[in-house]
């Protein structure tokens, strides 16, 4: 199943919906007798199997369907309760291309490298990226598979890790490279600019998707910049969850960006960065495509 957060316009509060035939959405917030808080997708995620069973029953009955092209789609989780957890250097070719740009040699880590993006960085699948050249002159792209946690856990073993995954989404870890470099090894600031984590267009539930070999791509103005597969991840999802959850509780609705493949702008010769008006498309086959225009900063 596929789930969205949507409203009639961007000015209205988002509501949870289940997608039908990738053309329609059923408003779950408008339905009575939900066995969970159905005002947001977080309530559904927290409800676990019981919530999904209720949605399957909903799909088996006639309900009003709203055309997707008549609504505004927000990020599936528009206001995460925590920062987005991110994995750095998780594709070998990306690590190697970045190594050429670093002043000092860095050894490939034997454990996943983690950082976070502020929750205020999250934006919708078709929203503008509200960043201009007064903020950064080196705006870069990073296509990633997003992992959504569904089951609370701490010290999760690899063998049980996938039981904690509720679903998958598409995201882009848009980065201000000049800001990132200004703060040394602390990547947080350059990664956390408002609107720098477009996400969506929906969450595909874990039972409907095998994340082991998904084609992942990023295009800027129609030109392919990244083209790879999740099969090239250096640390697979179970290993990521095991390491991240060691002494740290993962909770329903937590978002993990699993890393980006090679092809980022700052490692190109010469380097390439996005400008105002550029169109960035981020795609994971089997999930969907984001389309974001680089636009002016919001007040």
Tens of pLDDT, residue by residue over 115-148, are 999 999 999 999 999 998 999 999 999 999 999 9
Do 70 and 114 fall into the same domain?
Answer: no
Gap between the Cα atoms of 260 and 235, Å rounded: 12
Task: For residue range 63-111, list pLDDT tens digits in order.
Answer: 999 999 999 999 999 999 999 999 998 998 776 776 666 556 666 778 9
pLDDT at position 104? 62
Gap between the Cα atoms of 94 and 10, Å rounded: 35
Do 124 and 18 fall into the same domain?
Answer: no
Do 43 and 18 fall into the same domain?
Answer: yes
Do 60 and 92 fall into the same domain?
Answer: no
Gap between the Cα atoms of 98 and 160, Å rounded: 33
| Coil, helix or strand at residue 195 | coil
Domain annotation covers residue 79? no
Q: Is pLDDT at 252 greater than 50 in this prediction?
A: yes
Gap between the Cα atoms of 120 and 103, Å rounded: 31
Do 25 and 153 fall into the same domain?
Answer: no
Q: Of 74, 93, 109, which residue constitutes the final position of a domain?
A: 74
Do 236 and 282 fall into the same domain?
Answer: yes
Do 161 and 27 fall into the same domain?
Answer: no
Do 252 and 281 fall into the same domain?
Answer: yes
Q: Of 24, 47, 74, which residue constitutes the final position of a domain?
A: 74
How many domains are there within the chain? 2
pTM for the structure as a whole: 0.95
Do 114 and 262 fall into the same domain?
Answer: yes
Do 102 and 203 fall into the same domain?
Answer: yes
Domain annotation covers residue 32? yes
Domain annotation covers residue 118? yes
Domain annotation covers residue 278? yes
Do 47 and 140 fall into the same domain?
Answer: no
Domain span holding position 256: 84-295
> How far out from the chain centre does Cα 18 lie?
18
pLDDT at position 184? 74
């Amino acid at each position: 199943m596929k789930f969205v957060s949507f409203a009639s316009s961007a000015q209205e509060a988002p509501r949870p919906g289940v997608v039908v035939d990738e053309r329609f959405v059923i408003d779950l917030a408008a339905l009575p007798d939900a066995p969970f808080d159905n005002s947001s997708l977080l309530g559904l995620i927290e409800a676990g199997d019981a919530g999904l069973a209720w949605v399957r029953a909903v799909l088996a009955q006639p309900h009003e369907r709203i055309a997707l092209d008549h609504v505004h789609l927000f990020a599936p989780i528009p206001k995460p309760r925590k920062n987005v957890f991110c994995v750095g250097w998780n594709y070998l070719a990306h690590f190697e291309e970045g190594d050429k740009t670093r002043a000092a040699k860095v050894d490939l880590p034997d454990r996943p490298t983690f950082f976070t993006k502020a929750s205020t960085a999250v934006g919708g699948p078709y929203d503008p990226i509200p960043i201009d050249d007064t903020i950064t002159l080196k705006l870069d792209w990073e296509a990633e598979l997003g992992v959504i946690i569904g089951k609370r856990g701490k010290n999760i073993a690899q063998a049980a890790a996938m039981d904690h995954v509720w679903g998958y989404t598409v995201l882009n870890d848009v980065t201000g490279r000049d800001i990132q470099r200004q703060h040394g090894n602390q990547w947080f600031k350059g990664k956390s600019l408002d609107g720098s984590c477009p996400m969506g267009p929906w969450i595909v539930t874990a039972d409907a998707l095998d994340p082991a070999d998904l084609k992942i791509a990023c295009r800027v103005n129609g030109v392919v910049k990244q083209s790879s597969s999740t099969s090239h991840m250096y640390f697979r999802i179970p290993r990521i969850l095991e390491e991240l959850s060691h002494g740290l509780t993962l909770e329903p609705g937590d978002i993990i960006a699993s890393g980006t493949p090679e092809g980022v702008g700052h490692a190109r010769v010469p380097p390439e960065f996005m400008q105002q008006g550029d169109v960035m498309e981020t795609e994971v086959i089997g999930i969907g495509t984001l389309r974001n225009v680089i636009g002016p900063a919001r007040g």
